């Protein structure tokens, strides 16, 4: 790359063809990997002067791309972004500490550039806001980094700003669930950032919510090592993630607490790692800064991690009382550039028996998911034309016989004319719809659609009993979403698209290797191939069951022998 190129010194992201300053696909992450290679005596690039020059060029690019207000724009939707700048600050500062300790003269130009970048972020860190709940803890960690780096009055300013964020309180349930319910990404982010904040701000109480979440995550890993993402409130929803992002939180807390369960989870997490991770949580940097994090973990550590359990999460969380207080908050349910996350604290049940793993969940499109060896039933969903789209379950209770009862309710009505004293708002020939006081209209003819589900564990499987009575003639559709790596080898019905079929009857069998899942209970009560607003994923094998209210339906799920 020529010096006049706008990206000179940066590393090109192959997905976009551009160089970025961010903590994931950006130049700072590559700098972290190069930096660890330069200072690790076991590395083939230990004190390699050519690589050191390349690192200096990269630090010049990062400094050049920094905005005048001290922020960075990561290359996706956020511009002049305080939280994305904070992610970089956290990673950059860990690298700065590592390189400073090397005491090698060729690194001095890089260190000067890095310190300049970090110092210039102070104004945006002191004044900048955020979008999402976890961003607050990232900002606190970054402010802690600046407190330690700068010291003096600047450091105290950073600490006071962190205190303002921390005064909002921790957004975590007693069972350890963060607001975003993002087991694949943001729960791990909140954990590691609060560990950094606890250390750098001298606030050891910030480790308590971390412990809660790390204990909860013990029950949210499938036998394959895949993290449960079936009910996430963020972009990891239904996507594959492993435990690698949790390695540093588990390892750091295992060493601090001497906890064998955390050590066992750290052992599992490091076994899943394929790279060092992004700049903000780069495992290589932390292992070099804290050699005890490298392990080895005792062979029996993994034995502390349970493989057979039945666990209800948030079953006793008084979610309804918190939701009832929303009106008092005064925001009227509106929030910009983010979302309310009212699904926070919704019940989730996890059942594992060796190689079989089941999730029952609420406030998400899917209410049931199953892993059995290599066979994956990724989601069971109910959708209808009543309120076009999926019908999320809102409540879940475990019954004395071991069954789980779930229910979801939707309401839809009509609205009368605006009362005379308030009509029209626009005095003239034109009366725009958007100027009318719609909140004052009288509700009429409200209808309620309620779906009840009883999930009953039986020998070698589950029975799903579904019921909906009113209104009549509501077209409803169940979708059974299987992993694309297997095949649907039986079951009557008609194809409605690639890997999609309306399942009308017979035994539906899904096979993946020697493992299989069989279902009975197909039905074709109407011919609609899909439900509007109920988008089905690509790359999966999907069976659809069409029902019409009133219905009282049982679908039986059976699995291959253990």
pLDDT tens-digit map of 513-531: 999 999 999 999 999 999 9
Is 254 in the same domain as 378? no
Task: Answer whether residue 426 shows pLDDT above 60.
Answer: no
- Please tell me the pTM assigned to this model: 0.93
User: By mean pLDDT, which of 326-340, 356-370, 429-443 is the weakest?
Assistant: 326-340
Q: Is residue 69 a contact partner of residue 124, using CB atoms and an 8 Å limit? A: yes
Task: Answer whether residue 216 shows pLDDT above 60.
Answer: yes
Q: Is residue 541 part of a domain?
A: yes
Is 362 in the same domain as 507? yes
Is 368 in the same domain as 285? no
Tokens 């029209």 belong to residue: 424
Q: Map residue 128 onto helix, strand or coil.
A: coil
Is 394 in the same domain as 284? no
Q: 199 pLDDT band (50/70/90 cuts)?
A: very high
Is 369 in the same domain as 268? no
How does pLDDT run across 15-59, given as a tens digit for each residue?
Answer: 899 999 988 889 999 999 999 999 999 999 999 999 999 999 999
Asked if the bond preceding 487 is cis, omega within 30° of 0, the reply is no
Q: 519: burial class by Cβ within 10 Å (0-12, 13-18, 19+)?
A: buried
CB half-sphere exposure, 305, CA atoms < 13 A: 26
Q: Is residue 396 part of a domain?
A: yes
Q: Is residue 463 part of a domain?
A: yes
CA-closest candidate to residue 175, choices 319, 339, 379, 355 = 319
End of a domain among 290, 305, 320? 305
End of a domain among 267, 285, 305? 305
Provide φ and ψ at 442, rounded to 5°.
-80, 130
Q: 1 pLDDT band (50/70/90 cuts)?
A: low
Structure tokens at 129: 């806001």
Q: Is residue 405 part of a domain?
A: yes
- Mean pLDDT over 113-124 rounds to 98
Q: Which domain holds residue 298?
A: 242-305
Q: Is residue 176 part of a domain?
A: no
Q: Could you tell me whether strands 500-512 and 541-548 are parallel, antiparallel, or unpaired per DSSP bridges? A: parallel
CA-closest candidate to residue 491, choices 513, 540, 524, 462 = 524
Q: Is residue 496 part of a domain?
A: yes
Q: 416 pLDDT band (50/70/90 cuts)?
A: very high
How does pLDDT run across 446-504, given as a tens digit for each residue?
Answer: 999 999 999 999 999 999 999 999 999 999 999 999 999 999 999 999 999 899 999 99
Split into its structural domains, the chain has a count of 2
User: By mean pLDDT, which of 323-332, 508-517, 538-547 is the weakest?
Assistant: 323-332
Evaluated on CA atoms 39, 44, 50, 51, the torsion sign reads: negative
Is 301 in the same domain as 361? no
Is 371 in the same domain as 518? yes
Is 528 in the same domain as 412? yes
Is 542 in the same domain as 394? yes
Q: Is residue 506 part of a domain?
A: yes
Q: Is residue 69 part of a domain?
A: no
Is 365 in the same domain as 285? no
Is 450 in the same domain as 542? yes
Task: Answer whether residue 227 shows pLDDT above 60.
Answer: yes
Is 301 in the same domain as 375? no
According to DSSP, the residues that pair with 546 across neighbouring strands are 477, 524
Tokens 């409540």 belong to residue: 395
End of a domain among 269, 288, 305? 305
């Amino acid at each position: 790359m020529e010096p006049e190129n706008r990206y000179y010194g940066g590393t090109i992201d192959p997905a976009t063809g551009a160089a970025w300053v961010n903590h994931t696909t950006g130049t700072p992450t590559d700098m972290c990997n190069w930096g660890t290679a330069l200072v690790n005596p076991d590395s083939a690039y230990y004190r390699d002067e050519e690589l050191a020059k390349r690192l200096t060029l990269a630090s010049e690019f990062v400094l050049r791309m920094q905005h005048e207000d001290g922020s960075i724009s990561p290359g996706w939707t956020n511009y002049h972004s305080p939280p994305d700048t904070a992610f970089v600050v956290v990673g950059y500062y860990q690298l700065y500490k590592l390189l400073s300790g090397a005491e090698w003269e060729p690194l001095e130009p890089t260190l000067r550039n890095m310190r300049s970048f970090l110092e210039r972020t102070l104004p945006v860190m002191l004044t900048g806001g955020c979008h999402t709940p976890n961003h607050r803890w990232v900002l606190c960690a970054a402010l802690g980094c600046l407190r330690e780096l700068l010291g003096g009055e600047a450091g105290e300013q950073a600490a006071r700003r962190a205190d303002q964020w921390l005064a909002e309180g921790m957004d975590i349930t007693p069972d350890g669930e963060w607001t975003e319910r993002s087991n694949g990404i943001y729960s791990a982010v909140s954990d590691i950032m609060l560990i950094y904040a606890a250390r750098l701000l001298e606030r050891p109480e910030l480790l308590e919510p971390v412990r809660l979440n790390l204990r909860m995550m013990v029950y949210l890993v499938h036998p394959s090592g895949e993290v449960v993402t079936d009910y996430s409130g963020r972009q990891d929803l239904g996507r594959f993630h492993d435990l690698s992002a949790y390695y540093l939180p588990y390892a750091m807390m295992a060493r601090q607490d001497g906890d064998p369960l955390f050590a066992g989870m750290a052992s599992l997490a490091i076994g899943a790692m394929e790279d060092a991770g992004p700049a903000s949580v780069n495992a290589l940097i932390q292992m070099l800064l804290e050699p005890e994090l490298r392990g080895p973990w005792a062979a029996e550590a993994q034995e502390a991690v349970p493989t057979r359990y039945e666990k209800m999460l948030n079953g006793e969380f008084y979610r309804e009382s918190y939701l009832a207080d929303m009106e008092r908050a005064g925001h009227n349910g509106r929030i910009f550039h983010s979302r309310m996350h009212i699904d926070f604290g919704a019940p989730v049940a996890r059942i594992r028996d060796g190689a079989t793993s089941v999730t029952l969940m609420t406030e998400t499109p899917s209410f049931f998911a199953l892993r059995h060896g290599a066979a994956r039933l990724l989601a069971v969903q109910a959708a209808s034309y009543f309120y076009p789209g999926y019908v999320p379950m809102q409540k879940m209770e475990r019954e004395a016989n071991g069954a789980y009862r779930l229910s979801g309710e939707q309401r839809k009505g009509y609205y009368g004319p605006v009362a005379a004293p308030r009509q029209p708002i626009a005095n003239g020939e034109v009366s725009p719809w958007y100027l009318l006081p719609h909140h004052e209209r009288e509700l009429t003819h409200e209808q309620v659609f309620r779906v009840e589900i009883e999930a009953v564990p039986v020998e070698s499987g589950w029975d799903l009993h579904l019921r909906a009575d009113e209104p009549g003639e509501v077209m409803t559709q169940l979708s059974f979403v299987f992993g694309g790596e297997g095949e649907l080898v039986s079951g009557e019905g008609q194809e409605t698209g690639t890997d999609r079929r309306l399942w009308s009857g017979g035994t539906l069998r899904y096979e993946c290797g020697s493992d299989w899942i069989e279902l009975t209970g197909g039905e074709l009560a109407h011919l609609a191939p899909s439900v509007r607003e109920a988008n089905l994923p690509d790359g999966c094998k999907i069976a659809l069951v069409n029902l019409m209210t009133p219905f009282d339906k049982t679908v039986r799920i059976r699995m291959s022998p253990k």
